[in-house]
Amino acid sequence: MTETLLERLKREGKGHDLLDPELVEREQREQLGHLVRLRQRLGREITQREMDDLSNIL
């Protein structure tokens, strides 16, 4: 099961920052950036299974 952004922020003690939409948007862009860079390095699309595995690591 993948961890949602909300769950991750709560786990990291940042749940109170959810009131700040700019922080949430920045966090989402950062996560997307990781996936885009990884896809470029792999030279192929990333499967849903791989994304699930990565979200558990990140």
pLDDT number for residue 15: 59
Burial of 35 (C-beta count, 10 Å sphere; 0-12/13-18/19+): middle
pLDDT number for residue 16: 62
pLDDT number for residue 17: 58
> DSSP characters for the chain?
-PPPHHHHHHHTT-GGGGG-HHHHHHHHHHHHHHHHHHHHHHTSPPPHHHHHHHHHH-
pLDDT number for residue 12: 79
pLDDT tens string 3-47: 777 777 777 776 565 667 888 788 888 888 888 888 888 888 878
Q: Give the predicted TM-score (pTM) of the model.
A: 0.46
Q: Are 17 and 23 in contact (CB under 8 A)?
A: yes
Contacts with 39 (C-beta within 8 Å, 6 or more apart), sequence order: 45, 46
Q: Report the number of distinct structural domains present in the chain.
A: 1
- Domain that includes residue 11, residue range: 5-57
pLDDT number for residue 53: 81
